[in-house]
Amino acid sequence: MKNIGKWLFLIGLLVAVVAGLFGFSAGWLAWILVIVGILAGVFYFDPDDVAHMGIRYLVLVATAAILDELPILGPYLTGIFTAAVAFLGPVVLTVLVVWFVRKHLLGKK
């Protein structure tokens, strides 16, 4: 299952980045990427690494917020990073929920 989760993550991230690069937005695509992100979070990522994953996500969010200031490539990079952040949001949230359930509801460390 870890292999399927890895491919779901890579394909979802690639689709999100390409959509962000070209400025494509559709409701159905957003829902598909959310579902793919949730599945990737369940099957691929380790819930014990939730703190490091959260820090990486926050750094990516901060980077996406300031890239628009770059003169020529700013709008393109902002689209790419914003799309990556939008895809990774459900992934990080799913890993956090899985960690919480494992630790507090199931009693696993």
pLDDT tens for each residue of 32-66: 999 999 999 999 999 999 999 999 999 999 999 89
Q: What is the pLDDT of residue 70?
A: 86
Identify the domain containing residue 42 by its residue range: 2-105
φ, ψ at 42 (rounded to 5°): -75, -45
Neighbour tally for 40: CB within 10 Å:
26
Residue 52 three-state SS: helix
Residue 109 pLDDT grade (very low, low, confident, very high; cuts 50, 70, 90): low
Best CA proximity match to 87, nearest among 3, 5, 17: 17
Q: Is the pTM for the entire model greater than 0.85?
A: yes
Q: What is the pLDDT of residue 2?
A: 79
Best CA proximity match to 102, nearest among 40, 36, 50: 50
Q: How far apart are CA 27 and CA 5, in angstroms?
A: 23
